[in-house]
């Protein structure tokens, strides 16, 4: 145990620059760490977060899940699918989850393959591609629209709104008024689509139709609540994947032996994508509000306080993973927290894995020894999200 006190604040510049040294200290010396400025606790060990993710006795999502809701209080807590508790959460999740199960994701794979092939051909004509803006974002927002029931042609607009929402203050890493304006525009767009579907229901069973027509406690969802549920699906389905794909391509360039193994044996791609998710998880944390006093690691955690789950720290926990700071596509861990766990585990995890598989199967054999243009890349270093907002690569087509 180090004698130097830990000074962890997710908004601190040094933490945003590289959080992992802080995560190591937290896991070793303060696995339940009190953030005095926010009256909040940070959990950093895998098992603690795994357990807490299913603990509805001590924690609630009704106070929000994101940083701007729980810590800075900049974002209002609208009734999104990740800010409601059972039984309402169970009802809503059960109603739409069939759209995200593997057997129903399979039909999206064909669309993903066609789009990836087209994006690759465009990249070959240019001799380069921005993995985030010109490939990952276009793929993820298109598949999100198809999965949710939104018009594919609205993909560019939705990408603009979602990326605008995540454009945090470069000095503090926090939410901006402009970001909140983009969220409002996204909610308005989704409210319009809910209204259209209510006027013309189609019994498709897609999430848009399901949420537009479902009832809770004997009444249909209010338009605003229905819209924010759809907004959350749009954000979840389009924002994270491009960053994960970019990080994966960075690691594939860094670990060429492993990349060559994948090219020779594409069956390794799902494990490689999971390892990239573990190694470079973009979302730094989500959280809950404490609803019942309890003790953890000798600390008394009180009702009304906030607790945040440091997922990237958990995914490099020495007690869960051997050599956690080593990138290894052969790892095959039995558990990961890359998509969360418990009742709020990410609904779109099977879609994300499908998108990763199809993207890597398309890109890696075709790009040869591609070069990453780090000088023109955009690296995001906010308190909430880490990763690339832009990652240009250059290649000679094979």
Q: 264: which residues sit within 8 A by CB, 6+ positions away? A: none
The structural architecture, per CATH, of the domain 13-394 is Orthogonal Bundle (1.10)
Cβ(180)–Cβ(187) below 8 Å = no
The sheet that has 392-394: what strands, in order across it?
128-130, 392-394, 371-372
Q: What is the pLDDT of residue 220?
A: 87
Is residue 215 very low, low, confident or very high in pLDDT (cuts 50, 70, 90)?
confident
55-96 tens-digit pLDDT: 999 999 999 998 889 998 888 888 888 899 999 999 899 989
Among 96, 138, 93, residue whose Cα is nearest residue 115: 138
- State yes or no: pLDDT of 48 exceeds 90: yes
169 — pLDDT class (breaks 50, 70, 90) = low
Percent of the chain residues topping a pLDDT of 90: 76
Secondary structure (DSSP) of 131-176: IIIIIIHHHHHHHHHHHHT--GGGHHHHHHHHHHHT---TTT----
Q: Give the pLDDT score at 281.
A: 96
What was the pLDDT predicted at 75? Answer: 84
What does the pLDDT read at residue 15? 96
The full set of domain ranges for the chain reads 13-394
Distance of CA 177 to the CA centre of its chain: 22
Using 50, 70 and 90 to split pLDDT, how confident is the model at 180? confident
pLDDT of residue 279 exceeding 70, the answer is yes
Residue 271 above 70 pLDDT? Answer: yes
What's this model's pTM, rounded to 2 decimal places? 0.93
């Amino acid at each position: 145990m180090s004698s130097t006190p830990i000074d962890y604040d997710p908004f601190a510049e040094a933490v945003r620059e590289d959080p992992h040294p802080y995560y190591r200290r937290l896991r070793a010396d303060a696995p339940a760490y009190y953030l005095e400025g926010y009256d909040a606790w940070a959990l950093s060990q895998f098992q603690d977060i795994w357990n807490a993710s299913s603990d509805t006795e001590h924690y609630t999502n009704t106070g929000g899940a994101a940083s701007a809701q729980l810590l800075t209080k900049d974002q209002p807590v609208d009734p999104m699918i990740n800010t409601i508790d059972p039984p309402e959460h169970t009802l809503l999740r059960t109603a739409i989850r069939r759209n995200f199960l593997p057997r129903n994701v399979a039909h999206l794979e064909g669309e993903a393959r066609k789009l990836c092939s087209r994006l690759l051909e465009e990249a070959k004509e240019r001799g380069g591609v921005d993995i985030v803006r010109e490939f990952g974002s276009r793929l993820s927002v298109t598949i999100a629209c198809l999965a949710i029931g939104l018009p594919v042609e609205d993909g560019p607009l939705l990408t603009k709104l979602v990326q605008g929402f995540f454009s945090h203050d470069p000095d503090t890493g926090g939410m901006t008024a402009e970001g909140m304006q983009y969220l409002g525009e996204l909610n308005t767009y989704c409210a319009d689509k809910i209204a259209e579907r209510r006027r013309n229901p189609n019994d498709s069973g897609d999430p848009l139709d399901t949420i537009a027509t479902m009832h809770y406690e004997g009444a249909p969802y209010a338009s605003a609540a229905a819209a924010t549920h759809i907004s959350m699906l749009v954000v979840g389905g389009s924002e994270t994947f491009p960053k994960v794909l970019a990080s994966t391509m960075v690691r594939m360039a860094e670990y060429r032996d492993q990349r060559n193994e994948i090219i020779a044996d594409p069956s390794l791609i799902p494990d490689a994508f999971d390892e990239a998710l573990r190694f470079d998880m973009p979302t730094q944390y989500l959280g809950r509000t404490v609803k019942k006093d309890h003790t953890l690691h000798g600390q008394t955690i009180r009702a009304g306080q906030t607790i945040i789950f440091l997922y990237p720290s958990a995914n490099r926990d020495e007690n869960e993973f051997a050599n956690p700071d080593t990138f290894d596509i052969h790892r095959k861990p039995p558990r990961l927290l890359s998509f969360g766990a418990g009742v709020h585990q990410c609904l779109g995890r099977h879609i994300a894995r499908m998108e990763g598989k199809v993207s890597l199967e398309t890109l890696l054999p075709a790009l040869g020894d591609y070069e990453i243009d780090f000088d023109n890349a955009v690296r995001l270093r906010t308190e909430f999200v880490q990763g690339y907002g832009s990652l240009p690569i250059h290649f000679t087509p094979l």
